[in-house]
Amino acid sequence: MGAGRVGDALAERAYEPVIGLEIHVQLSTRTKMFCGCELSFGEEPNTRTCPVCLGLPGTLPVTNAQAVHFGLMIGMALGCDPAPRSIFHRKNYFYPDLPKGYQISQYDIPLARDGRLGDIRIHRVHLEEDAAKLVHAGASGRIHGAEASAVDFNRGGTPLVEIVTEPDVRSAAQAAEWLRLLRVTLRQLGVSDVNMDEGSLRCDANVSIRPVGETTLGTKTELKNMNSFRFLERGVNAEIARQEELLREGGTVSQETLHFDPRTGALSPLRSKEEAHDYRYFPEPDLVPVAPTEEMLERARSALPELPAERAERLERDMGLAPDTARRLAFRSDLGDFLEEALAADSEADPEAIANWVVGELVANIGDADPADTKVEPQALAALVKMVGEGTVAGSAAKEVLAILVADGGHPAEIVNEKSLGAADSDELAGIVDQAMTDNADAVEKIRAGNDKAIGAVMGAVMRETKGRADGGEVQRLIRERL
């Protein structure tokens, strides 16, 4: 076989992406992981420091109990088993953002392991401390001709939880979708701001590909800090394409850490991948193991709220909502809460109808805002949806009413009266339909001749005349009755 044929065979081979995610979550504790400094939110640089988080000799770390509590909550929410006893290690490396010369992190015995969120298995959940922040002065801050950098130690020592998934993700879109689920779950737990712009949620993606049908894993690369859902998806797709091209050309993927530039779409090597032994991990001698008591475990367990995945399931099961609607309501707890309050206002309310109005028209009006912060009351939406169901207000008029409710508040029945938005009554409507059919005799002929689209002209005339106060379905019925 000639080289060309081999090339063709390689070129035709289909590849499957394999992706595992590593997520760092900054915890919203009051103080840092191993000292009493308060967490920093944009304070003047180096104002939230002490000898412990500056790594001065002779200081001793003390584990933050609230960070352990939050870590246990996260582990449990992700279905992991908390370790009866986990320990901290020193991960040694030199970098100016790490004053001790090592990061305190959990290594071979993490806080919790073996869980699942959605369809992705969780490998481990562990505690560690964040590094400080380097501030690059650029050309304005030259020292001996070189661009200088400064260190702000405020962030150094902030509690982090690292979540590592199994390599279960099979596409870039699935990675982004799953990260959304993780983010709403963490938000619901109240353990972090989960703000990707501000770095309180950071995601690294490990990517490899393999021929479809192959069961062993290919060599992976690690994409650092994919700091938005969009970058994550774009970066992973770019890396999959790069690896595919390499393999199709007969090359091999080398294990390395890559930086994705969202502006150019380019992937550039940061460093060749270091191995665990490069870090000279050894047990932190200054800290006692984390050994949660039954009481600590119980406290974490009982602090768990209903999680988005559970809520979506409940909304689907108990209210008969479509899976996509249920997920949208569960993933935005403000919308889910609004729906449930609207339903509580009226025991005969139709959950599906209200849910559709919440995820459809209400969201179209309020965007990302919490409906509780707008003027529309859940009871008012329930009443409006009921009026639509009973046919006392047409769908298009009801949309107008909702916009008024969102902007000014009030009661739908009163708004309908004030603005004369009530559905045209049947005698009135029948008269309007008769007139419209007379005025549009051409269109009526076309409908009779089998051109169903021509009905639009007659409907349009009725809608104009009633100013949207008529129900489209009812108008169609009346027209067909008269054909």
- Residues written for the chain: 483
Residues 6+ apart with CB under 8 A from 375: 405, 406, 407, 408, 409, 410
Instruction: Indicate whether 53 belongs to the interface with Zn ion (CB under 5 A).
Output: yes
The residue among 275 and 373 lying less far from ligand ADP, judged by its C-beta, is 275
**Spatial separation of the C-alpha atoms in residues 15 and 247, rounded to whole Å:** 10
As measured in angstroms, the least distance from the Cβ of 155 to ligand ADP is 23
Part of the chain binding Zn ion (CB under 5 A), chosen from 27-35, 89-97, 285-293, 377-385: 27-35
Check if the beta carbon of residue 106 is closer than 8 Å to that of residue 128: yes
Q: Which does 21 bind (CB under 5 to 8 A by kind): ligand ADP, Zn ion, none?
A: ligand ADP
Check if the beta carbon of residue 68 is closer than 8 Å to that of residue 272: no
Q: Which does 217 bind (CB under 5 to 8 A by kind): ligand ADP, Zn ion, none?
A: ligand ADP
The CA-atom distances, in angstroms, between 198 and each of 109, 155, 287 are 30, 12, 30
As measured in angstroms, the least distance from the Cβ of 282 to Zn ion is 23
Beta-sheet pairing, 256-261 with 221-223: parallel
As measured in angstroms, the least distance from the Cβ of 272 to ligand ADP is 12
3-state secondary structure of 308: helix
The residue among 44 and 295 lying less far from Zn ion, judged by its C-beta, is 44
As measured in angstroms, the least distance from the Cβ of 241 to ligand ADP is 16
List of residues contacting ligand ADP (CB under 6 A): 18-22, 123, 164-167, 206-208, 217-218, 220
**Spatial separation of the C-alpha atoms in residues 106 and 98, rounded to whole Å:** 16
**Spatial separation of the C-alpha atoms in residues 471 and 337, rounded to whole Å:** 30
As measured in angstroms, the least distance from the Cβ of 469 to ligand ADP is 57
The residue among 124 and 187 lying less far from ligand ADP, judged by its C-beta, is 124
Q: Which does 232 bind (CB under 5 to 8 A by kind): Zn ion, ligand ADP, none?
A: none
Instruction: Indicate whether 172 belongs to the interface with Zn ion (CB under 5 A).
Output: no
The residue among 163 and 342 lying less far from ligand ADP, judged by its C-beta, is 163
The CA-atom distances, in angstroms, between 112 and each of 300, 374, 398 are 13, 40, 51
Instruction: Indicate whether 35 belongs to the interface with Zn ion (CB under 5 A).
Output: yes
3-state secondary structure of 79: coil
The residue among 166 and 352 lying less far from ligand ADP, judged by its C-beta, is 166
3-state secondary structure of 40: coil
Number of residues interacting with Zn ion: please give it, by CB under 5 A.
Answer: 5
Rg of the chain in Å (alpha carbons): 30
Q: Which does 53 bind (CB under 5 to 8 A by kind): Zn ion, ligand ADP, none?
A: Zn ion
The residue among 272 and 417 lying less far from ligand ADP, judged by its C-beta, is 272
The CA-atom distances, in angstroms, between 426 and each of 447, 460, 466 are 23, 18, 12
Q: Which does 37 bind (CB under 5 to 8 A by kind): Zn ion, ligand ADP, none?
A: Zn ion
Q: Which does 174 bind (CB under 5 to 8 A by kind): ligand ADP, Zn ion, none?
A: none
Q: Which does 104 bind (CB under 5 to 8 A by kind): Zn ion, ligand ADP, none?
A: none
Instruction: Indicate whether 104 belongs to the interface with Zn ion (CB under 5 A).
Output: no
The residue among 35 and 78 lying less far from Zn ion, judged by its C-beta, is 35
Instruction: Indicate whether 50 belongs to the interface with Zn ion (CB under 5 A).
Output: yes
Report the residue number whose CB is nearest to ligand ADP: 20
**Spatial separation of the C-alpha atoms in residues 14 and 244, rounded to whole Å:** 9
Q: Which does 35 bind (CB under 5 to 8 A by kind): ligand ADP, Zn ion, none?
A: Zn ion
User: Which string of DSSP letters, residue by residue, matches 413-426?
Assistant: HHHHHHTT-SPPPH
The residue among 52 and 80 lying less far from Zn ion, judged by its C-beta, is 52
User: Tokens for 408?
Assistant: 């000014």
Torsion angle of C-alpha atoms 202, 206, 212, 217, degrees rounded to 10:
-140
Instruction: Indicate whether 430 belongs to the interface with Zn ion (CB under 5 A).
Output: no
User: Tokens for 22?
Assistant: 């590593």
Single-letter residue type at 244: E
The residue among 176 and 339 lying less far from ligand ADP, judged by its C-beta, is 176
The residue among 272 and 435 lying less far from ligand ADP, judged by its C-beta, is 272
**Spatial separation of the C-alpha atoms in residues 178 and 185, rounded to whole Å:** 11
Binding site for Zn ion (CB under 5 A): 35, 37, 50, 52-53
